[in-house]
């Protein structure tokens, strides 16, 4: 025992210390503190007390001195410590909020945590806590675009209706294009990837011009019809639509649609009268003996795709080869017309001869 340390354990103190050691729900720090005082009262030296409690010599001496001054109650509480760093003042927090909600300095695009820390004179972690508490994310930007078209809601309902509730027996196609695709190739062939080694390629490349990709997604089954073309004009786009039309020769309705440019609908009724306007086309029943031709504002601006909807099952419409005249040219139906009448007359004549 250290010189000057006298531990006097009374009978009541021993009962309390032994109860703390025997209590299975007591805190472990209270248990080894009580063990140190009991071993001291039994006349054990400092080395034996260290072996029993598993604590260092300064720890044993400190708790012996605490028991001499405060008794058993001093073992059950920790000494008060100095408070940590004071929280940031409200003025500093408000300064950081004003900085992050304002424009960034110089030519930077947005505020970063380290820039805010330098400007406010605080640590990076403090800035992160403030931004998290106020749910601010200066590195995230959400883009938007508002339409000035007064009939945008009607057109949106007409286009989205094709996806949500398409007409019966209809094929809905989402058509789009990507222009100015660079056809690049490496100057030398690289080695493929193998175990323990990554694939290789040369750092330089050679250009092979640009290409334009036209694609149509079938909303029902997810198949994609695509074609690459060298030029980017309305003639190429119309040629692609003709290819799409050939892929679906026996479908009752073929409705390529676009989710980028709103569509303008032109409807024709059975008696030939024309009705221009836009309305929802979400009916599941096909329109009898009618057709709808929907096109974008400009075929050359291929951000939105033209769309054609044919409702008459006996007529197969093809897109024209030029943009000057978009006329509907029905293909001959073998079940009607002069060809069918001539075939029926030949069969009747053959029956008479037989």
Q: Is 320's pLDDT higher than 90? A: no
Query: What pLDDT does residue 87 have?
Result: 87
- List C-alpha distances in Å: 333 to 109, 153, 266, 338, 341: 62, 39, 24, 10, 12
Query: What pLDDT does residue 2 have?
Result: 64
Q: Is 337's pLDDT higher than 50? A: no
* Banded pLDDT at 251 (limits 50, 70, 90): low
Helices (H) and strands (E) in the chain, counts: 11, 8
Mean pLDDT lowest among 37-51, 57-71, 235-249, 330-344: 330-344
Q: How confident is the model over 201-206, as a mean pLDDT?
A: 94
Q: pLDDT tens digit string along 82-96? A: 777 888 999 999 999
Q: Is 148's pLDDT higher than 90? A: yes
- Is the Cα torsion angle 237, 145, 162, 273 positive or negative in sign? negative
Query: What pLDDT does residue 68 have?
Result: 87
Q: How confident is the model over 209-233, as a mean pLDDT?
A: 92
Q: Give the chain's length.
A: 354
Dist CA 211 CA 284 (whole Å) = 39
Q: Is 164's pLDDT higher than 50? A: yes
Query: Can you give the residue ranges of every domain in the chain?
Result: 11-75, 90-133, 152-186+204-310
- Comparing 61 with 280, the larger pLDDT belongs to 61
Query: What pLDDT does residue 349 have?
Result: 45
Q: Is 140's pLDDT higher than 60? A: yes
- List C-alpha distances in Å: 50 to 7, 23, 258: 16, 22, 81
Q: How confident is the model over 104-133, as a mean pLDDT?
A: 94
Q: Would you list the DSSP string of 295-353?
A: E-S-TTSTTS--EEEE--TT------SSSS-----PPPPTTSSHHHHHHHHHHHHHHHH
* Banded pLDDT at 19 (limits 50, 70, 90): very high
Query: What pLDDT does residue 4 have?
Result: 63
Query: What pLDDT does residue 44 have?
Result: 86
Q: For residue 96, what is the enclosing H or E element?
A: helix 90-101
Q: Is 346's pLDDT higher than 70? A: no
Query: What pLDDT does residue 315 have?
Result: 39
Q: For residue 119, what is the enclosing H or E element?
A: helix 113-120
Is the Cβ–Cβ distance between 245 and 317 less than 8 Å? yes
- Comparing 6 with 182, the larger pLDDT belongs to 182
Q: Which two tokens stand for residue 26?
A: 């007591």
Q: pLDDT tens digit string along 275-318? A: 434 444 444 444 333 333 333 333 333 334 434 343 343 334 44
Average pLDDT, the chain: 75
Q: Is 117's pLDDT higher than 60? A: yes
The contacts of residue 237 (CB under 8 Å, 6+ apart) are 177, 214, 299, 302, 305, 306
195 CA to centre of own chain: 33
Q: For residue 174, what is the enclosing H or E element?
A: strand 170-186
- Comparing 303 with 100, the larger pLDDT belongs to 100
Query: What pLDDT does residue 247 have?
Result: 86
Q: Is 114's pLDDT higher than 90? A: yes
């Amino acid at each position: 025992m250290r010189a000057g340390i006298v531990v006097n354990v009374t009978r009541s103190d021993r009962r309390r210390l032994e109860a703390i050691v025997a209590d299975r729900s007591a805190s472990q720090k209270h248990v080894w503190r009580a063990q140190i005082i009991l071993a001291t009262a039994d006349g054990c030296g400092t080395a034996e007390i260290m072996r029993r409690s598993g604590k260092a010599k300064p720890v044993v001496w400190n708790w012996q001195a605490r028991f001499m001054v405060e008794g058993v109650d001093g073992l059950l509480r920790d000494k008060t410590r100095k408070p940590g760093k004071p929280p940031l003042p409200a003025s500093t927090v408000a300064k950081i909020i004003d900085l992050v909600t304002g424009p960034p300095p110089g030519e930077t695009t947005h505020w970063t945590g380290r820039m805010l820390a330098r400007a406010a004179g605080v640590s990076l972690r403090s800035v992160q806590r403030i931004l998290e508490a106020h749910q601010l994310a200066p590195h995230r930007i959400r883009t938007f675009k508002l339409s000035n078209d007064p009939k945008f809601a009607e057109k949106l309902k007409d286009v989205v209706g094709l996806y949500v509730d398409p007409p019966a027996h209809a094929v809905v196609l989402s058509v789009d294009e990507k222009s100015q695709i660079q056809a690049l190739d490496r100057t030398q062939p690289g080695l493929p990837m193998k175990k323990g080694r990554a694939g290789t390629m040369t750092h330089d490349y050679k250009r092979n011009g640009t290409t334009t990709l036209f694609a149509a997604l079938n909303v029902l089954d997810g198949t994609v019809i695509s074609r690459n073309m060298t030029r980017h004009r309305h003639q190429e786009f119309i040629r692609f639509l003709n290819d799409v039309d050939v892929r679906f020769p026996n479908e009752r309705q073929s409705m390529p649609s676009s989710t980028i440019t709103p569509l303008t609908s032109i409807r024709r009724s059975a008696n030939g009268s024309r009705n221009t306007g836009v309305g929802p086309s979400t009916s599941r029943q096909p329109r009898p003996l009618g057709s709808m031709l929907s096109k974008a504002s400009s075929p050359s601006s291929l951000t939105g795709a033209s769309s054609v909807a044919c409702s008459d099952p006996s007529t197969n419409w093809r897109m024209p080869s030029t943009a000057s005249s978009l006329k509907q040219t029905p293909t001959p139906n073998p079940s009607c017309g002069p060809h069918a009448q001539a075939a029926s007359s030949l069969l009747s004549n053959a029956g008479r001869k037989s």
